[in-house]
Amino acid sequence: MGTIAQKILELKKRYGSTLPICFDKYSGNFGILHYGADGTMSSIGYTTRALGTPCWPAGIDAQTYDFGTLYSSDPEDMVNANYLILWGQNAAWTAVHSLPFINQARERGTKLVVIDPVLSSTASKADFYVQINPSTDGALALGMARYILDNNWVDWDYARANSVGFDEWIDYLKKNVTLDWAAEKTGVPLDIIKEIAREYATSKPASMWVGYGMQRHTNGGQNVRIIDALGVMTGNIGKSGGGVNYGHLETWGFNYNAMTNPAPKGSKGFIGPDGKEGDRNINMNNFAHDVMAQQEPPVKMLWLACRNPGSQDPDTSAIEKMFASMEFVVTVDSFFNKTVQMSDLVLPSTTHFENIDVNAGYWHYWVGINQIAIQPMFESKSDVEIAMLLSQKMNALESGSCTFPTRGTPEEWLAKEFNPGIYKLLGISDWKELISSPRKAKMPPASWSDGKFRTPSKKIEIHSDLAQKNGLPPLPIWVEEMKAPDKYPIRLITSHPQHGLHSQFQNLDWMMVANPEPKLEIHPKLAAQYGINEGDPVKVFNDLGSITLKAHLTRTTSPNVIVAYEAWYKDSNYNVNYTVKAIPSDMGKQATGNNGLAFHDNFVMIQKA
Partner 1 sequence: MSKQLGFLLDSEKCVGCRGCEMACKNEYQSDPTPRWRQVFQLNEDWYSLPTRMFFSMACNHCAEPQCLKVCPVEAYTKRDDGIVVHNHDRCIGCRLCTMACPYDRPQFNPAKGKVEKCNLCYQRIDQGLKPACVAACIPGALQLVEINNQLDQKTGILKTLPGLPSRTITNPSIRFIGPKQGKQIRRD
Give me the residues that bind partner 1 (CB under 8 A), please: 92-93, 96-97, 99-100, 103, 112, 119-131, 133, 187-189, 192, 498-499, 509-515, 523, 525, 554-556, 558-559
Nearer to partner 1, 271 or 528 (CB): 528
Smallest separation, CB 510 to partner 1 (Å) = 5
Nearest to partner 1 of 200, 448 (CB atom): 200
For the chain, state the CA radius of gyration.
25
Angle, helices 220-233/137-150, rounded to nearest 10 degrees: 20
C-alpha pair distances (Å), 320 with each of 303, 310, 474, 566: 16, 7, 39, 18
- Say if residues 515 and 265 touch (Cβ distance below 8 Å): no
Compare residues 58 and 126 and give the one whose CB is closer to partner 1. Answer: 126
d(CA 121, CA 89): 10
326 with 359: CB under 8 angstroms? no
Closest listed residue to residue 529, CA positions, set 486, 563, 559, 492: 559
Minimum distance, C-beta of residue 178 to partner 1, in the bound complex (Å): 19
Neighbours of 56 (CB within 10 A): 25
Residue 227, classed as helix, strand or coil, is helix
* DSSP conformational letter for 377: P
Q: Which is nearer to partner 1, 127 or 277 (CB)?
A: 127
In angstroms, what is the minimal distance from the CB of 433 to partner 1?
Answer: 26
Bridge partner residues of 87 (DSSP): 115, 210
Q: Of the two residues 321 and 570, which places its CB atom closer to partner 1 in the complex?
A: 570
Residue 165, by phi and psi: left (phi above 0), alpha (psi -120 to 50) or beta?
left
Q: Specify the residue, 116 or 385, whose C-beta has the smaller distance to partner 1.
A: 116
Separation between Cα atoms, residue 114 and residue 128, nearest integer Å: 6
Least Å from the CB of residue 479 to partner 1: 22
Which CB sits closer to partner 1, 466 or 511? 511
Q: Compute φ and ψ for 533, nearest 5 degrees.
A: -110, 165
| Nearer CB in complex with partner 1: 96/293 | 96
Minimum gap (Å) between residue 140 Cβ and partner 1: 11
Q: Closer to partner 1 at the Cβ: 104 or 294?
A: 104
Per residue, what are the HEC states of 303-360? Answer: EEECCCHHHHCCCHHHHHHHHHHCCEEEEEECCCCHHHHHCCEEEEECCCCCCCEEEE
Distance CA 22, CA 288 (A): 11
292 vs 512, which CB is nearer to partner 1?
512
CB 115 to partner 1: min, Å: 9
CB of 418 to partner 1, least distance (A): 30
| Amino acid occupying residue 325 | S
| 8 A C-beta contact, residue 196 and residue 130 | yes
Q: Which residues pair with 607 in a beta bridge?
A: 539
366-398: b or e for each residue (b if 16 or more CB lie within 10 Å)?
bbbbbebeeebeeebbbbbbbbbbbbbbbbeee
Nearer to partner 1, 121 or 449 (CB): 121
3-state class (DSSP) for residue 27: coil
The nearest distance, CB 75 to partner 1, in angstroms, is: 13
Residues 6+ apart with CB under 8 A from 265: 400
Nearer to partner 1, 207 or 401 (CB): 207
* CB distance 228 to 244 below 8 Å: yes
Q: Are strands 345-348 and 328-333 parallel, antiparallel or unpaired?
A: parallel
**In angstroms, rounded to a whole number, what is the distance separating the alpha carbons of residues 479 and 585?**
12
* CB-CB neighbours of 518 under 10 Å: 20
- For the CB of residue 114, give the shortest distance to partner 1 in the complex, in Å: 9
SS3 at position 518: coil
Q: How far is the CB of 232 from partner 1 (least distance, A)?
A: 26
Q: How far is the CB of 185 from partner 1 (least distance, A)?
A: 13
Is the Cβ of residue 50 or residue 123 nearer to partner 1 in the bound state?
A: 123
Closest separation in Å from C-beta 478 to partner 1: 20
Q: Which is nearer to partner 1, 239 or 519 (CB)?
A: 519
The nearer residue to partner 1, 160 or 555, going by C-beta atoms, is 555
Please report the DSSP string for 42-64 in residue order: HHHS--EEEES-SSSHHHHHHHH
Q: How far is the CB of 127 from partner 1 (least distance, A)?
A: 5
- Strand 603-608 vs strand 490-493: parallel, antiparallel, or unpaired? antiparallel
Shortest separation between residue 207's beta carbon and partner 1, angstroms: 18
- For residue 362, the tally of other CB atoms under 10 A from its CB is 16
Residue ranges of the alpha helices (H) in 151-262?
A: 156-162, 166-176, 179-186, 190-202, 220-233
Whether the CB-CB separation of 609 and 538 falls below 8 Å is answered with yes
CB of 196 to partner 1, least distance (A): 9
